[in-house]
Amino acid sequence: MAVKQLAEFLGRSPASASAEDLRRYQLELVERGIGSPALNTRLRALRLFFDVTLGRPEAMAKTRRVYEPRKLPVVLSPEEVTRLLAAAPGRSTGRRWRWPTARA
């Protein structure tokens, strides 16, 4: 599929693609908004095609893997934790809530 889409982009056989053609194809995919996992999958498929099938590893020289920025985890503020614990069952009986501990 990746090779077919490259051929459609180029308008000719992908076997004749230059490193610059492949770089332009990668930029086109990024501009279309393709996510980094899908983009990296296509690049891996094309790398296999050029390295193994055609014996032209230099063709992929100008393409690079796209990194997805890591997202920070959602963390509750101290006030949110207090409200959460105040709403926990057992609070209405006057007992104080405690973290569960392992018993020996």
- In whole angstroms, give the CA distance from residue 58 to residue 92: 70
How buried is 84 (Cβ within 10 angstroms: 0-12 exposed, 13-18 middle, 19+ buried)?
exposed
- In whole angstroms, give the CA distance from residue 36 to residue 33: 9
Residues 6+ apart with CB under 8 A from 69: none
Query: Do residues 32 and 19 lie in contact, with contact meaning Cβ atoms separated by under 8 Å?
Result: no
- In whole angstroms, give the CA distance from residue 25 to residue 17: 10
pLDDT of residue 49: 96
pLDDT digits (tens, 9 = 90+) for 37-75: 999 999 999 999 999 999 999 999 888 898 888 888 888
